[in-house]
Amino acid sequence: MKRICVIGGGKWGQNHIRTLFQMGNLGGIVEANSARIEELMKQYPVAGFSDLDEAISVGFDGYTIAAPAPLHYEIAKKLLEKGQHVLVEKPMTLSAETSLELVELAKKNEAQLMVGHVLLFHPAIRKIKELIDSGKIGQLYYLYSTRLNLGTVRTEENVFWSFAPHDISVLDYFVGHPAEQIESKGTKFLQKNVYDYTMTQLTYPGNVHAHIFVSWLHPFKEQRLVVIGSKGMISFDDSSAEKEIQFYDKHIEFDRGIPIKIENPTEIIPYDKKQPLAEELRYFVENLDGKIEIADGRSGYEVVKVLEKAQELIDEAP
């Protein structure tokens, strides 16, 4: 069994810890807070560390980084320099420059680098990708995602950096290519320097378009993805109780230049209801000796590039 060390025992780190333990792959935990590491050691019979260098010296098979985002670059760089395999939570780092540095460092030292874009391992997302690639919706026209809720409002990180990494990674995954053009606007209501609402337009190769609407100042929760093609349409709302993938057998045909609307009954597409985080961590463990292809370092870098460019455009807007 591969032994994985989790760096960070906070809110999301504890999910890594619990899931890897259930899988039988938890080897160690690094947590700087002495009271927290003591608490975790009572729950999990594995090695505990307050110092990262000590954990590295043990030589685990892989490391997951679930520390605060400002620490991602520093921790991942130290591990990759020593040729260690790494899964770093999103966002990969806080700049495209440092993200690219990690990609190149992993390549140089023949280390696996994966980014925690957990939605890429959501069974519904994987199923939708399968439907797109199979041609069920025909030619891909456009996609959009909405991630809306009331709170949790951040005081340092704006809503785009907080919510949108998930959606950027999913849209890139569906299209199979990073966006080539970006337009973005946002608005501040609650605080002087933090955006509460953003709308971002993405243009992909082949005249495929997408937009991302995120807000934490919204009356209801919605996490919806919509995919439009020449032969049909797909909708998935992860915030709904049913969490159904709906295929709309609807499209437009032309009869002697006249557009005709074609509508057939909506189909519910079945999919396996597996836990995304468990699927993500299992993929990481199973590919330590192979090659990470889903949510690899390069795709994580592309997501940070969009975050950075969108932030620049939002700040420049009048």
Query: If we measure between CA atoms, which residue out of 58, 109, 67 comes closest to residue 87?
Result: 67
Pairing of strands 113-116, 86-89: parallel
Cα 40 to Cα 9: distance, rounded to the nearest angstrom? 8
Burial label for 250, CB within 10 Å (0-12, 13-18, 19+), is middle
Tokens of 85: 């395999």
Q: Within a 13 Å sphere around the CA of 58, how many CA atoms are in the beta-carbon half?
A: 19
Give 193-229 pLDDT, tens digit per residue: 899 999 999 999 999 999 999 999 999 999 999 999 9
Calculate Rg over the CA atoms of the chain. Answer: 21
State the pLDDT confidence band at 156, using cuts at 50, 70 and 90: confident
Cα 139 to Cα 136: distance, rounded to the nearest angstrom? 9
Query: If we measure between CA atoms, which residue out of 224, 51, 218, 72 comes closest to residue 150?
Result: 218
The pTM of this model reads 0.92
Pairing of strands 233-237, 258-263: unpaired
Evaluated on CA atoms 163, 165, 170, 172, the torsion sign reads positive
Rounded average pLDDT over 258-279 = 95
Give 70-83 pLDDT, tens digit per residue: 999 999 999 999 99
- Residue 75 contacts residue 64 (beta carbons within 8 Å): no
Beta bridge partners of 253: 260
Q: Which residue carries 């889903």 as its tokens?
A: 294
Tokens of 148: 């809306």
* Averaged pLDDT of the chain: 95
Give 16-74 pLDDT, tens digit per residue: 999 999 999 999 999 999 999 999 999 999 999 999 999 999 999 999 999 999 999 99
Cα 144 to Cα 201: distance, rounded to the nearest angstrom? 9
> What pLDDT score does 161 carry?
92
Peptide bond into 152 cis (omega under 30): yes
Cα 177 to Cα 7: distance, rounded to the nearest angstrom? 31
Q: Which residue carries 């159904």 as its tokens?
A: 244
Query: If we measure between CA atoms, which residue out of 205, 204, 208, 202 comes closest to residue 228?
Result: 208
Q: Which residue carries 């995602």 as its tokens?
A: 145
State the pLDDT confidence band at 152, using cuts at 50, 70 and 90: confident
Cβ atoms within 10 Å of 285's Cβ, excluding its own = 21
Rounded average pLDDT over 84-111 = 97
Q: What angle do CA 40, 43, 45 make, to 5 degrees?
A: 95
